[in-house]
Amino acid sequence: MRVLLLMVVAVFVLGLSPVRAVEEEQYKPSDLDQLLATPKIKSGVKLVVPQKLRFRAVLAAPLQNCNADILKRTLLMQGNKKEAIDKLAISKCQALRSAKGATLGVFVEDRVGERLIAETKPGMVVEIYATFPYISPAGPTLLVNEFKTLK
C-alpha cells in the first residue's frame, strides 16, 4: 500500500513539471546567438522545416501584447490543422537577449505568458523551449511553448 501511495505521489509531482522529460527530449539544444546568425530575408517569410529548440536567454523586457496573425497563417501553410491553430491562443510577445547581447522578439503562447508574468521578471535568465517555423526580415521567428526558471 505504501509503495502504491509513493508511486501515485511521484506520478503527480512529475506530471506538474512544466516540461516533462519526454517532451524535453523533443527540443534540440541550441544557442540563441547561433540562431540569430541565420541570414535574414528582404521581405515576406521563408518557411523552414519546423524545429523544436531549447536555449538559455535573458528576459529583456516585460511581456507585451502583439498580433500573431502571420504566425498562425504560416503554421497553417506548414500543414498544421486549422482547428488546432484556431485553438492556439497567442497574443503576447517577449523580448529575449542572448549571451552576446543581441535582442530578439518572440511570440509566446498565452498559457506560458501567464506563468512568465507570475514567475519571472526582466533580467532573469530562463531556459526557453520554442518552435522555429520561419524566417522574416527581422530574423528567425520563434513561438515559445514553455520555459524553465534557472536557479
What is the tens place of the pLDDT at every residue in 105-142?
A: 999 999 999 999 999 999 999 999 999 999 999 999 99
128 three-class SS: strand
116 closest CA partner among 60, 71, 68: 60
What is the tens place of the pLDDT at every residue in 63-102?
A: 999 999 999 999 999 999 999 999 999 999 999 999 999 9
Rounded Cα distance, 138 and 78, in Å: 20
All 3 cell numbers of residue 101?
547581447
In this prediction, residue 151 carries a pLDDT of 76
Q: What is the CATH number of domain 24-149?
A: 2.40.50
Cβ atoms of 145 and 127 closer than 8 Å = no
In this prediction, residue 68 carries a pLDDT of 95
**Domain positions in the chain:** 24-149
